[in-house]
Each structure stands twice: as structure tokens, then as C-alpha cells.
Structure 1
């Protein structure tokens, strides 16, 4: 599990001038559409319901049709850093995309189902997402002009019907957060700026480590780095690795989310609990504290084995020992056990 985090290397060779703090509506729209498709784990169900209720039937259907482009790995247009002189001009960005060759833009849209741009792989994994996505993927490959036109019309309609107002609401906070990051960047350097983004981001030697269940290493010394605060991306820290572009980090611009235990720490707790004998010991002390001898006697277990189980549970922070006269009683740390699932989900969603 030591290789699980994402490593951002090459920071010492990266000039501050090649680190860009980005506030761009198209990047934010990618996060907003992701939330619209999966609002539950973002705790934005009411927001998503209100947005859908205000949509025209045509846009609602388009939003469902293109939802796959913002699930898990976003299509390239939503994580593009370069190519626009004014990233805050959403209609202008859409018009500039219309001038991109249709087949090139179609390939960018296929990224969620074919990271390497292989049409055969795109067709295969498109089919796994149902008939509507199958038809759209086939159109992007076989009729890119028509399919790309539909996508750009979808963006324009989304801006007109609801996202323009949403952007006006969130943009001031994103700008304020970007200024804070710029200040840290200029005063303390790249590593300090990155570690200030989120509790999941930390400095390790000359690199920055992002606590995600995704083993990869990115050297940004030559390609550059971009940072985009977002009002929608929580609880994720999204790392967009687009060839030929700066590595893009999208992070929550809001309040501190609190720390998430490391993958090794969570794995340790899961490993300790994945044993029938230790679960039996946990059950014995779930309702009241007991000594190792009492557990062994009541549950018909070997006393030395019970002691070993209790030591393992205590070292993982799942059990606490408390002295009662000449006896040592053990009690289950209920909140710690409950947090195992929550911490695991939060780590996976990073």
C-alpha cells in the first residue's frame, strides 16, 4: 500500500511562473455536472433536484445523454487548461471549441471510455454503459461533426438555462480562494501552496503526496502545474493528467474537510477486523468492558489467543484498556469501529 498515493515530483525544478491558479467556468461546469449525476456522495441532493426541476425537457434529456462524460474521469474539454486567452469567457470558449477539428474534439470527448484514444476500446466500454451511450460513442467515432455539434449545443444550452447563474454565485469565492493560493505560492513556494489545498495533500521530501487510492507519479518540472479551486468538487481532490498539458489539480475551495487516515492505516484496521476470532472478541466487549479472562471463560476461547486478539485490536485503535483495581478491562472503541467504513469511503472518493 506504500505505492498507493499520487506523487507530484519535480517541484524544485518548477518555476513559480509555471504554476497557474485557474478560475474557469468550463472546468467548474465539469465538476457541477459530475455532482448533478451523482449528488448523494457530494451531499448536494437538494441542489441537484432543484437544477433538474428548472431544466427544459430537451436539456434534461441532453444532460442524461452526456452524463458519462463527467463520471469518474472527465472528458478533456472539462479539464483543459491551455488554449484560451480568456478562460472566464464561457460562450467564447464554446465558440473556440467549434473551430477545433471535429475528429480531434470527438477523441477528447471519448477519454472517459478510452483513455488511449482507441476506437475499439471506446466502443466496447461504451456498450457497457447502455444503449444511449453506445449510440453516442458510435456517433463520436463514425459521425464526429454531428456528435460534436450536439455536445457544443448542450454546453451552450446548459450555460443559458442554469449554469450562468450558478457561475455568478460561485465565482467570487473561487477568485478569493485563488488569490489566497497565489499569495502562498509567491511567499512560500510551490510545495507550500499545494499542501495548503487540502488535508489529503502533504509534502514528502522534494515531492507532494496526494492521499488517493490511485498509484501514479507525475513529474511537473517541464510540463507545469495548474490549480483550480472548485465549489463542487468536494469530497474529491481531482488530478487531471492530460498529455501535453500542465497537470491539473481541482480541489475544494470551501471549508477544511478534515483529515482522512492514510491508506495503510485504513488497511491495517480492515486487516485486524477481518478475522472471525477478533470479531468475536469485539462482540464480547461491545456492550460492556470485560477482562481477557472473562471473555475467554464466557466465550469458550483460549486465554492466550484472546490476549493476542485484544493487543491487535488495541494497537489498531479499535479497543481501549482501562484498569479496574487489579484487573484490566477492555472496551470497544465504538466510534473508531464506525469510522472505518466512513474513512474508507472518504479515501476512495478522494
Structure 2
């Protein structure tokens, strides 16, 4: 019988959300602008969401003008989203689309323009915004320059873009997903009320876990957010998969956007993936893997047949086993090692899942 060696995970690089015990309430948000941010992200990068056909259909139904505007504004909803797409509003009866847009109209143009520049200038530095805007091509360069130099006109273009997007396609999408998102939000709120915030957060996504007074999110990012004073909000989404998006806007509750119906597969942590990559990034260990890929062998047999130092083969096998890439079985007085083929195959898949998370 094969015995899988225990895997010990090294120190990590997750996102830590601390201060849960001080929260009186965790807000569950269902808002069209937050969901529009996720939908526009999918529209710009449909492949890793598995929604190429959906994106093609949406684009095919758009007017040429809106299609061009959508490409020009795509940077506002990618890895870092513009603030309007991740703002938590405290007034739930104004969480309809027209209400959210009306709230934006009341924001001074310069202030709203700075919020829109967040993806290219988190610190609000115009020079940085111009620099990184240029890296996105002429159309984005012109738009970023306009947000800095002519905020009133540029903000008007953004609001017109939102209105056209709602009118031409997102209104129908919102009506399709809204009922499901509201149902999921009520389910989470019910868990909060019956079992507490920790239980509710623990069920959001396989990448999200509660440890004591903190939430741990498996992402390739070392960040710590204390929500004891600022608050925490969560938003179920029909479009955010495969991501778990953490929006850190100063002066706002930390916002966690998660898949409304996540799969329950195991989500690898950054240390787990990094450990396997590190172990495999060695010519000698790869040679040992090749030796046991087709049939189990002992360390001595590997050393003899491949002309390797026995003690080094043993060290390689121990490193591979500790990373879960090799399994061992006792055969009388011998210990044979076999390659965990599925574990090796999963390294690339797990890496992509983690990077997209």
C-alpha cells in the first residue's frame, strides 16, 4: 500500500483581514455598478472566465460607438478597478442603477476623475497616471489626459458610457442575475444571524477561510487589512469567477467580491504552489522524477541505474515527498518511491488558478 508523505506548508503570502470581532455588522451588498465592474472585466478578458461565447454575443449586439467606448474604458475594470465600480453605498434604497449614477453626478468632477484614475494611479499622482496611461495605447492616453486636464468633460463621457452600457445590454444582464444575487445575499445574511460572521465568511469561497479573529484569502499577495474601524462588505457576483476581488478604497469598508456559486474544489495557497515549483526547479530532482515516472524504484536502484550519488538521491526523494510529488511504500526491507503524476500535472493548473484568484 502506498503511503503519501505528509506535506508541510511553509510560511505564506495570503491576504489577511483582521479585526473581525470588533465588527457590529458585515454588510452584504447587491449593487448593479459593482456587478457591472465584474461584467466589463469579463467582456475585456473573457477567456480565463470561460465566457468567450457570452462576450462575443454581447459585443455583437452593441452599437459600434459603444463597442469602441468599452475597449477604451476596459482598463478601468481590470486588475485594479476604478472606485465607482467598487464603492459601497450605505443607502440600500439607492442601490439601483439610476440611484448609483445619480450619486456619482453629485461628486465634484475633479474628485470623480481622480477616482476613475485609480487603476493607473492609486496614490492620485497625475504624472504616474499619464505614464501608465500611455502604456495602454493612444485612446487610453487621451482619456487619461482628459480626466486630468478636463475632468468635467471626461467625467461626462464616463457617465454617458455607463448610460449607454445600461441601455444597450447590461440592463438585461442585471435583470437576469439580480434575483439570484439577492437570494445568495439573503442566504449569507441568514448564516450571519444564526451562526455568526465567521461561519458566513467561511462559506463564501474555498479560497476564503476564518482563523480566529482574521480572514485568510489565498492570493499571491502579502497584505493585511484591519477592518475593526472601517468595516467589511461582501458582494456576491455572477461574473467575478475565477477571482476573489478585494477592493481597498481609503475611507470605505473593505469590499470582498466573490463568486455567488463557487466550486468547492481545493484552492492551493501561494506557499503550497511555490514549494512544488521550487522543488521541481532542480535538474537532479527532475532526473529522479524521470526515474520513477513509469515504475516505483528504491533510492539505491535509482542511484545505481542512473549513476547518481545515493545520499543525494535520498535527499531529492525526501524533498519531493515533502512537497507531495512522490509517494513511498514499503516492500519488505525496501522502500520504493513512485511519482505522484496527478500532483505534478496539477502544478501548472494550480499556478494559473492561484494567479487568477
Q: Answer yes or no: same fold by TM over 0.5.
A: yes
- Distance in 2 of aligned mates of 1:106 and 1:35: 23
Higher mean C-alpha displacement, 216-225 vs 257-266: 257-266
Deviation by residue 1:168-226 (Cα, 9 ceiling, x = unmatched): 11111101110111011112222222111111111222111111111111111111111
Aligned partners of 1:84 and 1:183: how far apart in 2?
20
User: Which position in structure 1 is the counterpart of 2:141?
Assistant: 134
Q: CA deviation at 1:275?
A: 1.0
SS for the counterpart of 2:21 is coil
Deviation at 1:325, TM superposition (A): 5.3
Aligned partner of 1:187 among 194, 209, 228: 194
Query: What corresponds to 1:198 in structure 2?
Result: 205
1:98 to partner: Cα distance:
2.1
Q: 1:341 aligns with which of 337, 344, 348?
A: 348
Q: How many residues align?
A: 348
1:305 is matched with: 312
Q: Which residue of 1 aligns with 2:35?
A: 28
* Partners of 1:24 and 1:87 within 8 A in 2: no
Q: Deviations over 1:121-140 (max 9, x none)?
A: 11111112121111110010
Q: Is the 8 A contact 2:14 2:223 kept in 1?
A: yes
Deviates more, 1:288-297 or 1:276-285: 288-297
Which has the larger displacement, 83-92 or 127-136? 83-92
Cross-structure match for 2:83 = 76
**Deviation of 1:298 (Å):** 2.4
Instruction: After TM superposition, give the deviation of residue 72 of structure 1 in Å.
Output: 0.1
Distance 2:263 2:188 in 1: 14
Q: Per-residue displacement from partner, 1:287-330 (whole Å, max 9, x unpaired)?
A: 23223223222221112211221121112111122345554332
Residue 17 (structure 2) pairs with residue 8 (structure 1): yes
Say whether the 8 Å CA contact 2:206–2:262 is kept in structure 1: no
Aligned CA RMSD, in angstroms, stands at 1.6
- Separation of aligned partners in 1, 2:214 and 2:42: 31
Alignment of 1:313-328 (within 5 A): 313-324=320-331, 326-328=333-335
Which residues of structure 2 form unaligned runs of 5+?
1-9
Tell me the distance in 2 between the aligned counterparts of 1:3 and 1:287: 33
Q: How much has 1:87 moved relative to structure 2?
A: 4.1
| Unaligned residue ranges in structure 1 (runs of 5+) | none
Could you tell me how far apart the structure 1 residues matched to 2:150 and 2:278 are?
51
Aligned to 2:223: 216
List per-residue Cα deviations over 1:99-155 (Å, max 9, x = no partner).
321111100000000001111111111112121111110010001111111111111
**Structure with more relative contact order (C-alpha pairs < 8 Å, separation 6 or more):** 2
1:153 corresponds in structure 2 to: 160
